[in-house]
Amino acid sequence: DTEVTQTPKHLVMGMTNKKSLKCEQHMGHRAMYWYKQKAKKPPELMFVYSYEKLSINESVPSRFSPECPNSSLLNLHLHALQPEDSALYLCASSPRGGSGLNYGYTFGSGTRLTVV
Amino acid sequence: AQTVTQSQPEMSVQEAETVTLSCTYDTSESDYYLFWYKQPPSRQMILVIRQEAYKQQNATENRFSVNFQKAAKSFSLKISDSQLGDAAMYFCAYRSTQKVDSSYKLIFGSGTRLLVRP
């Protein structure tokens, strides 16, 4: 399995809702990432998990709450979002050591989030 | 801090022709990795080609090749025999060999939209 699977593909939520995005990989990668991407812009890093521990939080508002229950699964819990949070949310993973041939990132196809 | 610059917001190429997308970067490191990613309307970021900075030989993957000029900090992508399926956003990206907070950060350029004319 060489894929990163993200669910759902599309999500519409109200500003008072609570929802979660899910990301799963079975490649044995020990680093997982959440990116936010606005239209026609590059992805912006939000969070990095390394060995199931949060290692980087790029000053993301607390209405976004990441969780890494195990080495294969990454969640992003959403609460009280704003319309400006509407974007494509991409998950990615990369191998542990990140050296030699194993330094690439594998991306999922993203969740298109619309906040109304 | 490292930066990646793609100066061409949009490029157009005739089907079967060759096109080159530009990318420059700024870093004080001597060892690093460079990538080109393709993002079609389906949204998935697909790795096109990658280059290790310590390798002088330019990477090639079928119709895709790079011109890596380390001294000039330039990493352009050449697409030969362009196909309609090559139409997408292309992002150049940089990754350090040094960990930041136990992880590796991928730094993206602003992207180039490639249009392929039939």
pLDDT at B103: 64
User: What are the chain A neighbours of B97 within 8 Å (beta carbons)?
Assistant: 98-99
pLDDT at B97: 77
Tell me whether residues B47 and A105 touch, CB distance under 8 A: yes
Closest to A42 (Cβ–Cβ): which among B33, B102, B111?
B111
Residue of A nearest to B95 (CA): A103
Phi, psi of B58, deg, nearest 5: -70, 135
Tell me whether residues B108 and A107 touch, CB distance under 8 A: no
Closest to A55 (Cβ–Cβ): which among B47, B101, B111?
B101
The whole-angstrom separation of Cα B56 and Cα B15 is 31
Selected residues 37-96 of chain A with any CB under 8 Å from a CB in chain B:
40-43, 45, 48, 50-51, 53, 55-56, 88, 90, 92, 94
The whole-angstrom separation of Cα B86 and Cα B74 is 22
Nearest to A28 by CA among A72, A70, A69, A67: A72
Q: Picking from A45-49, A77-81, A95-99, B105-109, which range would have the lowest pLDDT averaged per residue?
A: A95-99
The whole-angstrom separation of Cα B81 and Cα B115 is 14
Tell me whether residues A56 and B101 touch, CB distance under 8 A: yes
The whole-angstrom separation of Cα B34 and Cα B53 is 7
Calculate mean pLDDT across residues B34-40: 95
The whole-angstrom separation of Cα A50 and Cα A59 is 17
Residue of A nearest to B55 (CA): A100
- Side chain identity at residue B13, one-letter code: V
Tell whether the torsion through CA atoms of B55, A106, A29 and B96 is positive or negative.
positive
Pairing between β-strand B24-26 and β-strand B3-5 as defined by DSSP bridges: antiparallel
Pairing between β-strand A106-107 and β-strand A44-50 as defined by DSSP bridges: unpaired
Which tens digit of pLDDT belongs to each residue from B56-97?
Answer: 899 999 999 999 999 999 999 999 999 999 999 999 999 887
Which residues partner with A113 through β-bridges? A11, A87
Tell me whether residues A110 and B101 touch, CB distance under 8 A: no
User: What are the chain B neighbours of A51 within 8 Å (beta carbons)?
Assistant: 102
Residues in Cβ contact with B67 at an 8 Å cutoff, skipping those fewer than 6 apart: B20, B58, B74, B75, B76, B78
B87 contacts B20 by C-beta, under 8 angstroms: no
Residues in Cβ contact with B79 at an 8 Å cutoff, skipping those fewer than 6 apart: B13, B18, B19, B20, B21, B63, B64, B86, B114
Which tens digit of pLDDT belongs to each residue from A7-20?
Answer: 999 999 999 999 99
